[in-house]
Amino acid sequence: MSTPAPILVWFRNDLRLHDHPALRAAADSNASIIPVYLHCPESEGAWPQGSASNWWLHHALQDLATQLEKKGSQLILRSGKDPLVLLQNLCQETGAHHIYWNRRYEPEAIQTDTRIKTALPGKSFPGDMLWEPHAVHTQSGGPYKVFSPYYKALQQKGEPPEPLPEARSWQHPQTFPPSESLTQWALLPQTPWDSAFLDHWTPTLQGAKTQLNLFLDESVAHYKTLRDSPSKSGTSRLSPYFHFGQLSPRTVWHEAGNDESNGHEAYIRQLVWRDFAKQLLFHFPHTDTQPLQEKYASFPWLKNPDALKKWQQGQTGYPLIDAGMRELWTTGWMHNRVRMVVASFLVKDLLISWQAGAAWFWDTLVDADLANNSFGWQWAGGCGADAAPYFRVFNPILQSKKFDPQGTYIRKWVPELRSLSDAHIHEPWNAPSPPATYPAPMVNHAEARDRALDALASIKK
Ligand SMILES: Cc1cc2nc3c(=O)[nH]c(=O)nc-3n(C[C@H](O)[C@H](O)[C@H](O)COP(=O)(O)OP(=O)(O)OC[C@H]3O[C@@H](n4cnc5c(N)ncnc54)[C@H](O)[C@@H]3O)c2cc1C
């Protein structure tokens, strides 16, 4: 009996062994498996991975390679311009007849998949969503643009598919093709701006498991009440693991359960927001750079590099904004409530475009995700689906008093303000002796709000 030709399993944003439909199908086929990862930044269009994501990717690939070695396998790394060419070469070198992969839903990735499917015997499997975009639609067959009915439609579908168990073992080829070395790809920074990242993250499969268990044991029950407090460990901090696929949302859905009596349902709802954002980008592929609501394309944004820099560096003079931007720079992550407030500040108080904010987040977030980032920024800019209306402008002082009343979060990230009283920490300029090293507010919020509303009125005319 002849041995079946090997199968290439192409890993992408699914750097795990459990609930991996492509790997599982290949393992069940009895053919030998060659796991590959392709580094092709140019195939990502305008969105090659940013610096912080590259940091995560390096560690996640190193870990995946180790886990595969424990199974007697090897992760083959190849880089180039076009994944199709690299896969063609690998098929020729190894005699593989099939390529299996899990689907991605971003516009560039879909185009790549389509080209590969036309040229090679490829088979794709469901990617990292609870339900794929084509599985949920309105009664007229169109996509949802509002979250609540989308959520209802998902609830009516019942439980998402059960996660697939990890294959215990599978067949290996007698020899593996040559692999490039991960260090050659230079994903880690040349200057050590990432020194604090490893204090905050364990970017491995075990790290994902540990973080999930910690959250389920200690925090999910309080999720509803604590999720808006940036100084508390109230949210799961699983977003980078989801983005790189070290955890699948189906696994987390089934492990967390959907019990309405505590925080579980509120948590699952966030996973549905994630699906919602992904299906929006899938159905409206221009929304990574263009507003979904067309009238906002003519919004009179200001080009103000100095102001943008102050925002990026956490030097705006508004303590909550500066704490958030410094948390982002130091750890590659920012709490969701603070993301909303800093985004509103950039777009409304500074009148700098949401695209400029999205680009900075793209480079600095370890969880930078095209669908979630575009969705979050369009939400803040009031120009996306189900967005906050543009006329609703977050007041950075009131948000600070409401969500960080004792200033614990601010004190952690803005050391210049540590000695201020709770009463003055949100408005240091009112303190009897404001710290000399902390800047005065770069804009007057009340005036900036009026200016934003005038700009809005100008596009309504
Ligand atoms: C301007 C802006 C930009 C954002 N950019 C990104 C991004 O690039 N990548 C990213 O993963 N999230 C982004 N978010 C959404 C959200 O802030 C993060 O997902 C969340 O803070 C991650 O922390 P967590 O894992 O503790 O979240 P939890 O509260 O524990 O939520 C669990 C998971 O649900 C998903 N989720 C939570 N909130 C949202 C949301 N509003 N939209 C979509 N999915 C959500 C995430 O995958 C998250 O890990 C952005 C939000 C805003 C306002």
Which contiguous run of DSSP H or E holds residue 377? helix 370-381
- Look at ligand 1, atom 20, and give the residue with the nearest C-alpha: 336
Write the residue with the smallest CA distance to atom 2 of ligand 1.
376
Q: For a substitution probing ligand 1, which of 214, 226, 250, 270 has the most ligand atoms within 8 Å of its CB?
A: 270
Whether the pLDDT of residue 451 is over 80: the answer is: yes
How would you list the strands of the sheet with 7-11, edge to edge? 76-79, 33-39, 7-11, 98-102, 122-125
Q: Which structure tokens are listed for 76?
A: 């083959």
CA of 309 to the centre of ligand 1 (A): 24
**Ranges in the chain annotated CATH 3.40.50.620:** 1-127
Q: How far apart are CA 267 and CA 130, in angstroms?
A: 14
- Residue 213: is its pLDDT beyond 90? yes
Give residue 313 CA to ligand 1 midpoint distance, Å.
22
- Residue 112 clears pLDDT 60, i.e. is over it: yes
C-beta neighbour count of 192 within 10 angstroms: 9
**Per-residue pLDDT tens over the stretch 251-278:** 999 998 766 666 788 999 999 999 999 9
Side-chain-side CA neighbours of 238 within 13 Å: the count stands at 31
* pLDDT tens digits, one per residue of 324-367: 999 999 999 999 999 999 999 999 999 999 999 999 999 999 99
pLDDT of the residue at 331: 97
Q: Which two tokens stand for residue 324?
A: 């958030």
**In which residue ranges of the chain is CATH 1.25.40.80 found?**
128-162+201-283
* Ligand 1 interacting residues, C-beta cut-off 6 A: 227, 235-239, 242-243, 270-271, 273-274, 277, 336, 339-340, 343, 361, 365, 367-369, 372-373, 375-377, 380
Second CATH level (architecture) for the domain 128-162+201-283 = Alpha Horseshoe (1.25)
pLDDT band at 445 (very low <50, low <70, confident <90, very high): very high
Q: Which residues pair with 39 in a beta bridge?
A: 79
pTM score: 0.97
Three-class SS state of 440:
coil
Spatial distance between the Cα atoms of 217 and 233, rounded to a whole number of angstroms: 12
Residue whose Cα lies nearest atom 45 of ligand 1: it is 274
Q: 């290949």: which residue's tokens?
A: 26
CATH class label, 1-127: alpha beta
Fold assignment, 294-460: DNA Cyclobutane Dipyrimidine Photolyase, subunit A; domain 3 (1.10.579)
Mean pLDDT over 382-389 rounds to 84
> Could you tell me the distance, in angstroms and rounded to a whole number, from the CA of residue 237 to the centre of ligand 1?
9
Whose Cα sits closest to atom 52 in ligand 1? 376
State residue 261 phi and psi, 5-degree precision: -75, -15
Rounded CA separation 441/317 (Å): 4
Per-residue pLDDT band at 207 (split at 50, 70, 90):
very high
Please name the residues in contact with 270: beta carbons below 8 A apart, sequence gap of 6 or more. none
